[in-house]
A and B are shown apart, each in its own frame.
Chain A
Amino acid sequence: MEAASISHAAVHDGHDHHGPPAANRSSRVEPELLGMLLFIISEIMVFGAFFTAYFFIRIAQGNPWPAPGTSLPVQVAGVNTAILISSSFTIHWAQTSIKNGNRFGLKAGMLTTFLLGCSFLFIQINEYANIGFAPQDAAQQTIFYSLTGLHGAHVFIGLLLLLFVTIRAFRGHYTPEEHRGVEVPGIYWHFVDIMWIIVYTTVYVL
């Protein structure tokens, strides 16, 4: 790469740049927001593949659901659903607060959302411990654990993001003008919530 280094020297002699020219903004959509939306499309497709497995095992194969001799805790999971959905509202509260310059609302909203998410995950793990069957037993159990587990992994990732945002909120980051760092993880959290409604409906209710 002799050639490249020579040209660099020439560039540095020529003018005194310390960074690139600002890129032209050719869309009203913010890059971070668009990136998150595209990532969510990918995530939806991951779930799509797992739902394909669910479709083949439950419907194409015609396996009884739930597997004979087992039952799914529909009510407990329903309470859990309510917990997760309410966390979507609390994160919205946090976002609205910081837009209006209410730092207490931001901190309280983020902390509540984080704790609600943690309780969801805690109840989910408890459910695994007490449900009375293992993924190794049969294909229905495999797909039950896989779909809820995949969603649980996403809750975990979402919780990490929320934790980072909460830490930063308590350290005094974010202003009414600059709060993208709350918005973008918030979109992910909403995605996790909506996906749970689909998982709950297909796996537990139907």
Chain B
Amino acid sequence: MAAKLRAPGFYRAGIMMLGGVALATGLTWLVRMTTGHATYSHYLSGDAILSVSLLAVPLAFLIGIGGFDYWFYWAAGRPTRPEDHSGHGAYSWKDYFRVNTDHKVIGVQYTVSSFFFLLVGGLIAMLMRAQLAQPGSHFVDANTFNGLFSVHASLLIFLFIIPVFAGLANFVLPLMIGAPDMAFPRLNALSFWLLPVAGALMLGSFFAPGGAFADGWTAYAPLSDNAPIGQTFFSVAVQFAGASSIMTALNFLVTIITMRAPGMSFFRMPLLVWANFATSLLVVIATPFIAASQFFVLLDRALGFNFFNAAHGGDVLMYQHVFWFYSHPAVYIMMLPGFGIISEIIAVKARKPIFGYRMMAFSLLAIVALGFTVWAHHMFTSGMAAWIRIPMAITTAIIAVPTGIKIFSWLATLWRGVLHLDTPMLFALGFLTTFTLGGISGVMLAMVPFDIHVSATYFIVAHIHYVLFGGSLMTIFAGVYYWFPKMTGRMYDERLGKWHFWATFIFVNLTFGPMHILGLQGMPRRVSTYAAKFTDLNLFISLASFGLGLSTLVFFYNIVTSWRGGPRAIPNPWRGMTLEWQVSSPPPIFNFDRVPTVVGGPYEYGVPGAVHGIFAPAPAPAAAGAAASVVRAPSQ
């Protein structure tokens, strides 16, 4: 038992977490006693202990689970155990609950836990739609409703869309560039374990006194300064989720820059790699801003600072500027990896080279640069200086240009292609449709007068769900189906996949389409009831949303049963050229026996004799005959 408590794992994590609570108690008691501050009437305060615990307990958990072990050895100058790769691979399902440095295991950990949060966030949405099915209903009370939509948005943004892309890329990206692993495997492992921590904090806020954080995922100050303690759960959870994003992005950038296979120049990289390169740049530059915005709120709440206290010279608009300087680039963080997934799928499934490869890459970089110039279009009605609206409206309209370049390039890739309309391709085509609709309503919102008219109405809800559900989630489904054979070694059920697609596509439009009309008619968002004239459409939306929820169950059923007992997948079921398809399904424990050499572009489908990567002959002459294999472009 003592050995179990000393070894990294859940037992040690449990002990450490108890220690974290004790530390938080002791620390707050000590500080309160020594400062003797006039406002500190008691040395022991529940709120203070809870606030400090929210930081201390997750850190204690991470130490206990073993996320920092190596660095502790390094810090003390003790001999570090060199990476012997004994942590690689997963031999049973239990290995997924340990700190593992294998990028493939981490990719699965990331993806599966993100989908868990999708399930929770989706169920919360169902509760909200149940409340909104009729005006004046009392399914939940108003404060709970506020908590529901806040947790719904925060979970799905910070713990589903952002990490699930990181998870898919974690699995696929090193394979695609011919690397045996990520550049910093231990950092990679740590970045994953921060996620369940952030998720537990957000969900845990429901049990906090005063209920969950209830001022939206935007948590505008000064409301968040004065909200019940549940708000602190959000602010701290964002720190952990943000740290996780930054670690992964840094890892991706270093991996892409320093670990590409010989011959893989930047313009021979698959577009998924380009997309993650662009996304990681956004994450590394922008994410510190949301961390800082929540620092401000935490300092205001816990220590009585005056960042947002107007009575003492604080500036509440500053919160919105700092928040949106991250959170607008964040919508591209939530979209660019999806662009990469769609580029892969459309080229493979249309059996054509991607149209305008270089423009696809450059448009990603253009979105990165322009993404930092549009943040205040979220603040047209905030009371900021009126003239700022004009440049922001213009840049917002301009950012639709690189996005349009991508849409048209995909359409041109489809043109006269030999389309294979299986599940990943259907989702890719569905994405093109719904995302374009969401993009168009985005350009509408760039227009200042129109934005003022529909600000804080269901039009905004419709727009964000068209781009995040109809956009991001469609690409995520497409990517999960596309790489499912590679990740699990099993084929999914194609028939169920198609059912899932059509149900999703139809119900997404039935759910979020009518919200445009509601918004134009002036129904405000983020309220638990509404005027009687909106009843019919709301009932319709609620019913459609339940259909949407059920369609997701088809997906989960398909994934679970296929993973357990689906037919075995061949290495390259889609006849793809990129490197991940040239190894077995699932890939061998170290990805490649020898690092491949890249000799051509990644999308030369239908080009006779085109080759992307070759596995060079082995240096040892004995093995040379058997090992030399040339990967040819699959012909039509």
Contacts and interface: CB of A to CB of B under 8 A. Distances in A.
Interface of A: 1-8, 11, 15, 17-27, 29-31, 34-35, 38-39, 41-43, 45-46, 48-50, 52-53, 56-57, 60-61, 63, 135-143, 145-146, 160, 164, 167-168, 171, 173
A19 B181 CA distance: 11
A18 B588 CA distance: 13
Nearest to A64: B313
A7 B489 contact: yes
Interface of B: 74-77, 84-85, 89-93, 95-96, 178-181, 183-184, 246, 250-251, 253-254, 257-262, 264, 284-289, 291-293, 296, 299, 303-307, 309, 312-315, 317-318, 321-322, 325, 488-490, 563-564, 568, 584, 586, 588-595
A53 B291 CA distance: 13
B388 to A, nearest CB: 12
A3 B488 contact: yes
A142 B91 contact: no
Contacts of B318: 52-53, 56-57, 60
B467 to A, nearest CB: 25
B477 to A, nearest CB: 21
Contacts of A41: 284-285
Contacts of A145: 305
A20 B180 contact: yes
B489 A21 contact: no
Which residue, A23, A31, A173, has most C-beta atoms of chain B within 10 A? A23
A197 B594 CA distance: 49
A24 B263 CA distance: 10
A38 B285 CA distance: 9
B306 A21 contact: no
Main secondary structure on A side of the interface with B: helix
B288 A139 contact: no
Given A23-B595, A53-B296, A60-B315, A167 B590 contact: no
B595 A21 contact: yes
A-B CB proximity, top 4 nearest? A49-B292, A20-B180, A139-B313, A20-B590
A34 to B, nearest CB: 5
B59 to A, nearest CB: 15
A13 B135 CA distance: 65
Given A136-B305, A139-B314, A142-B314, A21 B594 contact: yes
B322 A52 contact: yes
B250 A35 contact: yes
Contacts of B253: 34, 38
Contacts of A15: 593
A112 B593 CA distance: 48
A172 to B, nearest CB: 10
A61 B591 CA distance: 57
Interface centre among B288, B296, B303 (most CB of A within 10 A): B288
A21 B285 contact: no
Contact of B307 (A27, A43, A139): A139
Contact of A34 (B246, B254, B592): B254
Contacts of A7: 489, 584, 586, 588
A160 to B, nearest CB: 8
A64 to B, nearest CB: 9
Contacts of B563: 3
B407 to A, nearest CB: 30
Contacts of B246: 42
B321 A52 contact: yes
Contact of A57 (B74, B292, B313): B313
B262 A24 contact: yes
Given A24-B178, A139-B307, A61 B586 contact: no
A57 B308 CA distance: 10
Nearest to B287: A42
A60 B317 CA distance: 10
Contacts of A3: 488-490, 563, 568, 586
B451 to A, nearest CB: 23
B258 A31 contact: yes
A146 B92 CA distance: 48
B250 A39 contact: yes
B622 to A, nearest CB: 12
18 contacts: A4-B489, A17-B590, A17-B593, A18-B84, A18-B85, A19-B84, A24-B595, A26-B257, A26-B261, A27-B257, A34-B258, A35-B183, A38-B254, A39-B250, A50-B292, A61-B313, A136-B304, A138-B306
B77 A38 contact: no
Given A19-B84, A21-B593, A38-B250, 8 more contacts: A1-B96, A22-B180, A24-B260, A24-B262, A46-B292, A57-B313, A136-B304, A164-B74
A135 B291 contact: no
Nearest to A38: B250
A61 B592 CA distance: 59
B289 A45 contact: yes
A139 B488 contact: no
B183 A31 contact: yes
Indicate the member of B254, B262, B489 with the most A CB atoms within 10 Å: B254
B528 to A, nearest CB: 33
A135 B586 contact: no
Contact of A46 (B178, B181, B291): B291
Nearest to B266: A26
B590 A42 contact: no
A34 B280 CA distance: 14
A146 B299 contact: yes
Contact of A164 (B75, B84, B183, B259): B75
Contacts of B325: 49, 52
A49 to B, nearest CB: 3
B590 A27 contact: no
Given A31-B258, A49-B322, A138-B306, A57 B184 contact: no
A21 B180 contact: yes
Nearest to A136: B304
Contact of B92 (A1, A25, A53, A139): A1
